[in-house]
Amino acid sequence: MKIKILGLAIVTLLFSCKKETKVAEREIKQYTIEQFMDNEAVGGGSFSSDNSNLLISSNRSGIYNVYTIPAKGGEMTAITASDSTSVFAESYFPNDNRMLMSADGNGDEIDHLFVRELDGTIKDITPAEGAKAGFYGWSKDDKHLYYGSNKRDARFFDVYKLSIDDYTSEMIYQNNDGLNYSEMSNDENFFALSKTMNTNDSDLFLYDVKTKEMTKINENLSANSAQDFSEDNSTFYYTTDDGGEFSYLMSYDLNSKEKKKVMEKSWDIMGIGFTSEGKYMVVYTNEDGKNAIDVLDAKTMQPLDLPDFENKSITSVGFSDDENWMRMYVGGSNSPSDLYTYNLETKEQHKLTNVLNNDIDVEDLVIAKVIRFKSFDGTEIPAIYYLPHQASKEFKVPAMIWVHGGPGGQTRQNFSSLIQYMVNHGYAVLAVNNRGSSGYGKTFYKMDDRNHGEKDLQDCVEGKNWLAQQVEIDGEKIGIIGGSYGGYMTMAALTYTPEEFDVGVNLFGVTNWMRTLKSIPPYWESFRASLYLELGDPFTADSVRLKRISPLFHTDKVTKPLIVLQGSKDPRVLQVESDEIVAGVRKNNVPVEYVLFEDEGHGFVKKENQIEAYSRILQFLDEHLKKENAAIE
């Protein structure tokens, strides 16, 4: 199976200029939220069949729409003009300029696949009502595309093969066992399937279409992930952490069934993939919360010399079908990722986008720093630290603990518009990768199992204590902020450690674990059991503990100001979670603000809503945390 795009571009947003702050010899411009949001977020990058254009997604219109852009640079051309639902680029068709796109219903996560025909009309090719569809790739003969859909059974995703001539499809793998499809060989004879055992471990299988044989690849309980098949259908590649802390790359000979270790690094190898004809292998490694990308000659396994972008990193790559051109996203913690193209034969390089608002001086933004601190039990906790330029021993600034989503997520060294906005306006941010975060080994990853809102919360408290010891920080003015699981941690902090943090910012956070775990979408069925293993089963005696760690039932403990932000179409954390926590805390006569977006899901993607959300957060912090802090006046 041919996948023309390798990797996932990290798309983010930004800002620009207003107030000036003079501290010592450094003059820092402060930018308005409108200026930050005048940055552009770009993602994707499929080459057209003649390599003349790329198909991309951009939010320049205020929401995501699909555009084309010349491969050697030039003006973007709008392909869609949606003003409500975001539309995302998937791929050019292999042999003509038809375009594959995807969209859901304003954040409801019920994605469909659409084709833009050569005459400009747009057709839904996965129209089953209420069913999700996801693009899996193109067939080797360029005559079909593969996709997954749960239209037969809302719980499980079957694999379909769709003709690109008349858009008729046939099921080629029926998922009756709750397995997760991962990869398929070019000859369609082998399917790589996985079964989630717990939040860290999964079994990996190869299904032989001809013999109907299902072969289990891993021997021990471990984290196993299918990566790709060789172009000649002889070898299967996968990652595993069997016997180690971090994931490494293995090969499996489909004929002899021999396994070999191919590559191992001191961090997780997150994924690998081959280009269309198998000439190059791309390897993604998570190095201390930062993407490290190697492009290797698949025969010699020697790395290619890639362009040097000095203090920026290549965060994602993709290749043209003829393997002559590569597209790259290049950015850093203080700069959103721009799109480049690079000709592997001529070495010519083109910068296609300039996503940072021209009003913004990148020197006014802050480069993240990785730090580590000891938690209450001696466990070393990694964190990403953003210190405002204007902060010093003489000009102390307030600070925020940032908690990522999950459980099991990781704050990485990527550009974040909200973090940079807060930092630009004088707030230090410490993004704590508490125990249970991914990327630091499987032992660390498992450390929060059945400890949510307890030991992981204590890690955040110790992060606050670390901040308070820094000479540039006003230790009396430290709050906590997070989204999704991080929103839960915000509420847990205000509920179970009410005197530790001075304010809380809860973005669509879980507040009632029993309800959330009972109401997960049906298409999460394949990992429902593993989720219950980590958090607890709400239909058993675990409900006692789940109630104990659910902030909704302990709102009387909240004494510090709170702001809650929520999307009404969120299928993961229902609006009622935020409605009820706000009502409960307001009974304490505590300052509470509630920002509800009727047209957003789990996270805010429309610029006008992001502007409203981020500005309300800063206003809240200025009023309830900074107040008249002379450090930044």
Whether residue 430 contacts residue 467, with contact meaning beta carbons closer than 8 Å, is answered with: yes
From 364-373, 459-468, 517-526, the region with the lowest mean pLDDT: 517-526
pLDDT digits (tens, 9 = 90+) for 36-79: 989 999 999 999 999 999 999 999 999 999 999 999 999 999 99
Whether residue 91 contacts residue 53, with contact meaning beta carbons closer than 8 Å, is answered with: no
Residues sharing a CB contact under 8 Å with residue 285, sequence separation 6 or more, in sequence order: 265, 267, 268, 269, 270, 291, 292, 293, 294
pLDDT digits (tens, 9 = 90+) for 71-107: 999 999 999 999 999 999 999 999 999 999 999 988 8
The first and second tokens of residue 600, run together, are 């957003």
Residues sharing a CB contact under 8 Å with residue 127, sequence separation 6 or more, in sequence order: 112
Handedness of CA 211, 214, 219, 224 (dihedral sign): positive
Instruction: Kindly report the average pLDDT of the chain as a whole number.
Output: 92
Measured CA distances, 178 to 129, 171, 197, 209, 424 (Å): 21, 16, 12, 18, 47
Has residue 10 got a pLDDT over 50? no
- Is the bond into 407 cis (omega within 30 degrees of 0)? yes
Q: What is the CATH number of domain 20-351?
A: 2.130.10.120
- Distance between CA atoms of 373 and 277, rounded to whole angstroms? 46
Residue-level pLDDT at 534: 84
Residues sharing a CB contact under 8 Å with residue 276, sequence separation 6 or more, in sequence order: 2, 4, 319, 321, 322, 323
pLDDT digits (tens, 9 = 90+) for 533-582: 888 899 999 999 999 999 999 999 999 999 999 999 988 899 999 999 99
Whether residue 66 contacts residue 89, with contact meaning beta carbons closer than 8 Å, is answered with: yes
Has residue 633 got a pLDDT over 80? no
For 477-489, b where at least 16 C-beta lie within 10 A, e where not — what string? bbbbbbbbbbbbb
Residue 512 — very low, low, confident or very high, per pLDDT cuts 50/70/90?
Answer: very high
CA proximity to 242, closest of 258, 265, 270, 219: 219
Q: Regarding the domain delimited by 366-512+550-628, which CATH topology (the fold level of the hierarchy) does it fall under?
A: Rossmann fold (3.40.50)
350 by Cβ neighbours in 10 Å (0-12 / 13-18 / 19+) ranks as middle
- Distance between CA atoms of 457 and 465, rounded to whole angstroms? 13
Has residue 7 got a pLDDT over 80? no
Has residue 379 got a pLDDT over 70? yes
Residue-level pLDDT at 33: 92
Residue with tokens 């279409």: 209
- Distance between CA atoms of 515 and 538, rounded to whole angstroms? 8
- Distance between CA atoms of 308 and 311, rounded to whole angstroms? 9
- Distance between CA atoms of 318 and 204, rounded to whole angstroms? 26
Residue 8 — very low, low, confident or very high, per pLDDT cuts 50/70/90?
Answer: very low
Whether residue 386 contacts residue 370, with contact meaning beta carbons closer than 8 Å, is answered with: no
Residue-level pLDDT at 627: 79
What residue spans in the chain does CATH classification 2.130.10.120 cover? 20-351
- 3-state DSSP call for residue 330? strand
Has residue 12 got a pLDDT over 90? no
Measured CA distances, 296 to 252, 253, 304 (Å): 19, 20, 6
The first and second tokens of residue 473, run together, are 């920080």
Residues sharing a CB contact under 8 Å with residue 584, sequence separation 6 or more, in sequence order: 552, 555, 556, 558
- Distance between CA atoms of 159 and 482, rounded to whole angstroms? 36
Residue-level pLDDT at 16: 32
Residue with tokens 């029993």: 514
pLDDT digits (tens, 9 = 90+) for 228-263: 999 999 999 999 999 999 999 999 999 999 999 999
Residue with tokens 């204007």: 390
Residue 178 — very low, low, confident or very high, per pLDDT cuts 50/70/90?
Answer: confident
- Distance between CA atoms of 76 and 58, rounded to whole angstroms? 10
Has residue 9 got a pLDDT over 50? no
CA proximity to 56, closest of 282, 296, 316: 316
Residues sharing a CB contact under 8 Å with residue 619, sequence separation 6 or more, in sequence order: none
Phi-psi region of 21 (alpha: psi -120 to 50; beta: other; left: phi over 0): beta
pLDDT digits (tens, 9 = 90+) for 599-620: 999 999 899 999 999 999 999 9
Handedness of CA 140, 143, 147, 149 (dihedral sign): negative
- Pick the residue with more confidence: 232 or 449? 232
Residues sharing a CB contact under 8 Å with residue 332, sequence separation 6 or more, in sequence order: 311, 312, 313, 367, 413, 415
Q: Is 0.85 surpassed by the pTM of this model?
A: yes
Residue-level pLDDT at 1: 56
For the chain, the distance separating the N- and C-terminal CA atoms, rounded to the nearest angstrom, is 59
Helix 485-496 × helix 455-469 angle, to 10°: 80
- Distance between CA atoms of 335 and 40, rounded to whole angstroms? 11
Whether residue 496 contacts residue 514, with contact meaning beta carbons closer than 8 Å, is answered with: no
Say what percent of the chain tops pLDDT 70: 95
